[in-house]
Amino acid sequence: MRSTVVTFPSGRTSGRSRIAGVVPVGDRHGLAVAETPFHPLDHTWPDQPADRGTIAGMPVLDCVTGALSSSGEAFVGGDIPVRRGAEGWEWLVLHVTSEPLPVGAEVELAVDAGFRAGLSAGHTACHLAALALNAALADRWRKEPALDGLGRPDFDQAAITSSRIVPYGSVDVYRLGKSLRKKGFPAEGLDPAQVARRVNEQLAAWVAAGAPVAIDVPGPELTARRTWRCSLPEGEASIPCGGTHVRGTGELGRIEVSLTLEEAALTMRTTCA
């Protein structure tokens, strides 16, 4: 097998390819193909869920990342013992099914386009909300932090502990502990409702701007280091990202966030329509 070529960064939701191998995934079968439109769950940062759909007419029960060592040993998801893209390893999209298919068979792959559309909208809205949150919190920093793509203090990257994309939304959790305070961000007196208002005002302006969104794709393989870009009025924003996205902020209708603060954790829930 060779590393899987992926077409989902360009928005593809269908394709035809040959079965390159079969990897056991529990008591199920992980079908690897030469080229796929399916977006798998990323084992290193599992923010965007796997695509749904069919392969050779069979339901794809899950879609995960697999890795094959130089000795031919296969690993799946969290059991992969090396960093993503490690040299000497083959990196695979595994379409998990209840029945195997013969190696070499040519198959049709079809992604659930409606589900993909919801995740793409949610993922773009998630990135925009993170940038807007950075802007809303910029004046609270007491030290010089790393900056985001728009030149603002990158609270999102400094504090995030988990991110989960859902159809037309996301849930992001930020830790406001000692380590963040040492970096120069005091959380005392933070008013979530006030911050949310500032974030939502910024998001409304960005949606109204109809800013184009693009994915930089340096190569066709699964492990290529892709970058999300958005040409906002304030400048070109960029975030490393392996997910799927809409093509412009105007497709999102309205983006709105709510913020809650509990036990030194700030949770941002983002929705778009």
- The model's pLDDT over 102-141, given as tens digits with 9 standing for 90+, comes to 999 999 999 999 999 999 999 999 999 999 999 999 999 9
Rounded Cα distance, 82 and 89, in Å: 9
List the domain boundaries for the chain: 5-111, 114-272
Q: What is the pLDDT of residues 177-233, one digit of tens each?
A: 999 999 999 999 999 999 999 999 999 999 999 999 999 999 999 999 999 999 999
Q: What would the mean pLDDT of 48-54 be, rounded to a whole number?
A: 98
Is pLDDT of 1 > 80? no
Is pLDDT of 273 > 90? no
Helix, strand, coil tally for the chain in percent (to 5): 25, 40, 40
Q: Please, which residues bridge with residue 224 across strands?
A: none
pLDDT at 2: 84
pTM of the model: 0.96
Considering the domain 114-272 in this protein, what is its CATH number? 3.30.980.10
Rounded Cα distance, 214 and 244, in Å: 10
Is pLDDT of 271 > 90? yes
Domain 5-111 has CATH 3.90.1300.10: no
Please name the residue that has the structure tokens 């849930």: 171
Rounded Cα distance, 126 and 185, in Å: 22
